[in-house]
């Protein structure tokens, strides 16, 4: 056995910098006219907003910066957007879609 | 058992969280590359009449299947067997699948793999490895698989998968002869760095049906596994995704077998026969097309075997008027046929089936037997059935 490494849950905050691991594929499914996330033995169908957020998870921007950008784009209160984005990303992180 | 309805269960082997209205094309293709396997697990999901090596599709055939699958809109390819690594051309098949835009999943027992080969497969586009274990107790695992030293090799494979930075699923089929080790199986999965664990109670078809009395856990033992899994899911949130497949003998409603016949999954056998489910050959009156003769899309859309039980028009009562008919699709056609003689009957796993009580009672009786029979191991000819090839 390899030396034990204790894995921990990724907790998403506005300081988190996230990206999709290599084995997670955000892809447009042309045949069905939708976006999909391909994951081990799973296909997720993210909604429009999630797709937009995921495209911004580039391993450089913080979650806070992503929320700010969206808040400006949609002229929405940044604290509300931040809460929503964190909740959405936490759910995806728990499904193994982000790192 | 009302509690079973509150369990979060994943009842298909391959779970697709998609809008069913979009799913005109199958989401997944189960490619049984070969029925050869060094292991002899007595619950193998392969048919009892195993296909022989001289009937297997060629490399070019499989590559064409991969291209056709991509064009049809299939998203994921599950490279299975038998043991898929027994095919020397696995690399070619993986490469073509990846080029065709398919998400590639290797379902392996691991014992034939070498690190170099795994690395090569990864570099050719393999996305994910699902490694089966028979137990965490090496001696018991090797006994169940009838393969000495299997556990040691699996430990190596799990280690290599992580070293190569690939995602790992541990698949642990559960039954009365390993059920007490579930907590250790969960710990093992975390320890080897798996992101996902499939705890799959055996489904009793084919080989498993022959071995049912040796495998069936008691209802109490099953309920305990449900508790253990629910606790672990909560505790390991964000660390290990656990999918739990329940034994339908102890369920109130049947599982939506294959997510519905001809609805989400397509299966190609080693010799190229295209099936709506891997056990479909046990049913009478179905004509199976072969990828050697007909395009995959045409078979999927128009093949007689796919049309036969697709949708709900074929149903009899109590399914026909049941509000759940598009939730579970009347359960498993193969199980309905094997136990009632008519594939259109409700799967006896359903509490609304007239046969349910009798059938569940038989399982309960077998699960309590103290005179546990020896395994009938999965091997060519072991079923004493006449081979069709």
- The model's pLDDT over B166-188, given as tens digits with 9 standing for 90+, comes to 999 999 999 999 999 999 999 99
pLDDT of residue B359: 87
- For the segment B121-125, the average pLDDT, to the nearest whole number, is 98
Average pLDDT of chain A to the nearest whole number: 92
Q: What phi, psi does B339 have (nearest 5°)?
A: -100, -20
CB of B245 closer than 8 Å to CB of B14: no
Q: Which residues of B touch A32 (CB under 8 A)?
A: 22-25, 73
The strand pair at A34-39 and A25-29 is best described as antiparallel
- Give yes or no for residue A64 having a pLDDT over 70: yes
pLDDT of residue B386: 36
Q: Which residues of A touch B98 (CB under 8 A)?
A: none
Q: Left, alpha or beta for B332 (phi > 0: left; psi -120 to 50: alpha)?
A: beta
Which residues have a Cβ under 8 Å from the Cβ of A47 and sit 6 or more positions away? none
Distance CA B296, CA B274 (A): 8
Average pLDDT of chain B to the nearest whole number: 90
- Give yes or no for residue A2 having a pLDDT over 60: no
- As to burial, measured by CB atoms within 10 angstroms (0-12 exposed, 13-18 middle, 19+ buried), residue B185 is buried
Partner residue facing B17 (CB), from A7, A45, A96:
A45
In three state form, how does the secondary structure of B132-177 look? ECCCCCHHHHHHHHCCCCHHHHHHHHHHHHHHCCCCEEEEEEECCC
Residue of A nearest to B168 (CA): A40
Q: Do A45 and B128 touch (CB under 8 A)?
A: no
Identify the CA nearest to B161 among candidates A23, A18, A95.
Answer: A23
Q: Do B75 and A95 touch (CB under 8 A)?
A: no
Identify the contact set of chain B against chain A, taking CB-CB distances under 8 A.
14-19, 22-25, 27, 73, 75-76, 78, 103, 105, 127-128, 130, 155, 159, 162-163, 165-167, 169, 190-193, 195-196, 198, 237-241
DSSP B309: T
**SS3 (DSSP) at A18:** strand
Distance CA B137, CA B144 (A): 11
Distance CA B345, CA B330 (A): 8
User: Which H or E run includes B196?
Assistant: strand B196-201
Q: Do A32 and B159 touch (CB under 8 A)?
A: no
Q: What token pair was written down for B215?
A: 């495998």
Q: Which residues of A touch B163 (CB under 8 A)?
A: 2
- Give yes or no for residue B2 having a pLDDT over 60: no
pLDDT of residue B383: 61
Q: Give per-residue pLDDT as tens, B332-378.
A: 999 999 889 999 999 999 999 999 998 889 889 999 988 899 999 99
CB of B134 closer than 8 Å to CB of B178: yes
- Report the C-alpha dihedral over residues B139, B145, B146, B147, rounded to 10 degrees: -80
Residue of A nearest to B128 (CA): A40
Identify the CA nearest to B132 among candidates B84, B74, B95.
Answer: B84
ipTM field = 0.90
pLDDT of residue B91: 98
Q: What token pair was written down for B298?
A: 């045409």
CA of B382 vs chain A CAs: smallest distance (Å): 32
- Give yes or no for residue B66 having a pLDDT over 90: yes
Residue of A nearest to B170 (CA): A40
Q: Give per-residue pLDDT as tens, B276-315.
A: 999 999 999 999 999 999 999 999 999 999 999 999 999 9
- Give yes or no for residue B11 having a pLDDT over 50: no
Q: Do B237 and A9 touch (CB under 8 A)?
A: yes
User: Which H or E run includes B28?
Assistant: strand B28-32
């Amino acid at each position: 056995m390899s030396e034990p490494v204790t894995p921990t849950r990724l907790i998403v905050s506005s300081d988190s910098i996230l990206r999709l691991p290599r084995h997670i594929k955000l892809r447009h499914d042309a045949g069905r006219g939708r976006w999909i996330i391909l994951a081990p033995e799973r296909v997720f169908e993210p909604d429009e907003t999630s797709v937009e957020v995921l495209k911004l998870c580039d391993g450089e921007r913080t979650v806070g910066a992503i929320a700010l950008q969206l808040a400006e784009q949609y002229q929405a209160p940044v604290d509300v957007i931040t809460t929503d984005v964190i909740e959405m990303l936490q759910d995806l992180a728990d499904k193994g879609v982000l790192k | 058992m009302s509690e079973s309805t509150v369990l979060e269960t994943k009842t298909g082997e391959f779970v697709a969280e998609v809008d069913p209205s979009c799913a005109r094309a199958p989401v997944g293709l189960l490619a049984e590359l070969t029925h050869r396997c060094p292991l002899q697990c007595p619950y193998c999901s392969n048919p009892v009449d195993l296909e022989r090596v001289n009937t297997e599709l060629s490399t070019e055939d499989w590559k064409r299947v991969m291209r056709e699958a991509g064009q049809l809109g299939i998203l994921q390819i599950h490279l299975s067997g038998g043991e898929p690594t027994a095919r020397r051309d696995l690399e070619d098949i993986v490469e073509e699948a990846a080029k065709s835009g398919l998400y590639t999943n290797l379902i392996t027992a691991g014992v034939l793999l070498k690190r170099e080969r795994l690395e090569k497969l990864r570099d050719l586009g393999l996305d994910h490895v699902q490694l089966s274990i028979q137990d965490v107790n090496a001696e018991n695992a090797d006994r169940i698989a009838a393969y000495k030293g299997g556990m040691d090799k699996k430990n190596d494979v799990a280690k290599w998968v992580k070293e190569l930075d690939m995602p790992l699923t541990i698949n642990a089929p559960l039954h009365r002869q390993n059920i007490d080790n579930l907590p250790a199986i969960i710990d093992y999965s975390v320890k080897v760095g798996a992101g996902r664990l499939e705890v799959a109670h055996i489904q009793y078809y084919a080989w498993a049906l022959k071995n049912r009395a040796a495998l069936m856990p008691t209802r109490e033992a099953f309920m305990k596994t449900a508790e253990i899994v629910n606790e672990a899911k909560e505790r390991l949130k964000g660390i290990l995704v656990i999918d739990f497949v329940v034994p339908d003998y102890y369920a109130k409603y049947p599982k939506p077998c294959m997510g519905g016949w001809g609805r989400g999954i397509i299966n190609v056998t080693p010799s190229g026969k295209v099936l709506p489910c891997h056990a479909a050959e046990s049913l009478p009156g179905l004509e199976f097309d072969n990828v050697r003769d007909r395009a995959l899309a045409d078979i999927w859309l128009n093949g007689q075997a796919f049309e036969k039980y697709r949708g709900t028009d074929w149903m009899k009562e109590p399914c026909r008027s049941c509000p759940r008919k598009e939730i579970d699709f009347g359960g498993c056609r193969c199980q309905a046929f094997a136990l009632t003689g008519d594939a259109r009957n409700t799967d006896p796993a359903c509490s609304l089936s007239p046969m349910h009580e009798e059938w569940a009672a038989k399982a309960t009786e077998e699960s309590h037997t103290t005179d546990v029979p020896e395994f009938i191991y999965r091997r060519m000819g072991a079923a004493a059935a006449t081979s069709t090839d």
